[in-house]
Structure 1
């Protein structure tokens, strides 16, 4: 079993073998904030801090029989002693959290997280229920406010879904254009439907533009930068000239929404065709800057 899943089970066990979905996310977040090598990242969601990976792991643990198939987090195995399957350092962190927060109501727990980590309340639909006006003003300071036009490029290689989304949120990106030919991924969170749902849950619109992608056959056997450069020279000659409709669409999205990102897999901009797409938009309107994330 993955170590991070053991952490999930240990939390449920320590908090009485059943804990509400909202409380669980908050406790896991507080635990992750204390870890040196954190296993889960979070995004500012409609109820505050939220980990998509943790939810995916919950579904996996349900299938494996460790958790009950309920909205709450509930262990399905009696006397398992999950707490002793995690490292001593992590056990100590959890024990302290249990002492500090174990007797708080859900509302009290939410308020504590919002007060101490206001960034994660920026998208909350319930913030006014838990914070007063002055406290909400502090939360609002963490909301991205920059609105100048820009075209961003971002790859998901080496990133968690939450880290990826936070990068977009903090840059106030409004539209994510997926320029993969086939938006499939073995990495959690980056297959088309999952990525679209995650983006829209944090108020980023997702658009797939497969016409701008490169077929997988042409991406095989790329080992040097020269291989990539040759591929992209061919891409600019053979594909981009026939996709001016999509280039103009991206330009119009920037004019409407201000800040638009192009995404594909590769971490390095020079090893992904999204950079060539961004260059094509920039040629159309040189006032639009290109920012690589």
Structure 2
């Protein structure tokens, strides 16, 4: 009278969001941290995926990730406008409200929905520059994702 696999309820995988900044990291450090977290897809949430740090601009980064089996997706619509970043880092409420307005736009809504779909495949990392999650717009992106996927896990690296 035990339960069999066919009668045991199964909980669907809900995915894991890894929030990571590359501040203070080399491309090698970044890739190693992503592999430690079993990341399958990296979603670049920078408005413009360029960096003065070698290997961390879009093309070189996507190549380094592909070499270890991690997919790269750039969602420009989830980027924080350049003139909003300093205020955001400083914690100014107006800057945070402005970014939330960005996420209310159609393109950002579609991008967030895509990230939710990617979570069906496992661990998804969100990448931007800032090391500290709370100083970066990734914080608000993660909060929006958690509204849509409340059972997903979040890891801040």
* Global fold match (TM > 0.5): yes
- Which of 247, 257, 260 is the matching residue for 2:112? 247
Residue 79 of structure 2 is aligned to residue 213 of structure 1 = yes
Distance 1:280 1:289 in 2: 13
**C-alpha distance in 2 between matches for 1:234 and 1:207:** 24
Matched residue, 2:144? 280
Cα separation, 2, equivalents of 1:262 and 1:289? 13
Matched, 1:231 2:95: yes
Q: How does 1:1-293 map to 2 (within 5 A)?
A: 149-220=15-86, 224=90, 226-227=91-92, 229-236=93-100, 238-242=101-105, 243-255=108-120, 257-293=121-157
Structure holding more strand per residue: 2
Change (3 A) 1:241 1:195: same
1:158-216 CA distance string (max 9 Å, x none)? 01111111000011000000000001110111111011100111110000000110121
Larger Rg: 1
Structure 1: distance between partners of 2:40 and 2:96 = 27
1:192/1:261 CA distance change after superposition, 3 Å: same
Q: Which has the higher contact order (CA 8 A, sep 6+)?
A: 2
TM-score, normalization by structure 1? 0.47
Higher fraction of helix: 1
Residue by residue, what CA displacement relative to the aligned partner does 1:84-121 show, whole Å, maximum 9, x if unpaired? xxxxxxxxxxxxxxxxxxxxxxxxxxxxxxxxxxxxxx
Q: CA deviation at 1:220?
A: 4.0
Q: Which runs of 5+ in 2 are unaligned?
A: 1-12
Displacement, 1:233?
2.5
The Cα of 1:223 is off from its aligned counterpart by 6.4
Q: Within 2, Cα distance between the matches of 1:221 and 1:210?
A: 20
Contact 1:148 1:259 in 2 (8 A): no
2:41–2:124 contact (8 Å) kept in structure 1 = yes
Q: How many residues align?
A: 143
Question: Distance between the aligned counterparts of 2:42 and 2:132, measured in 1?
Answer: 18
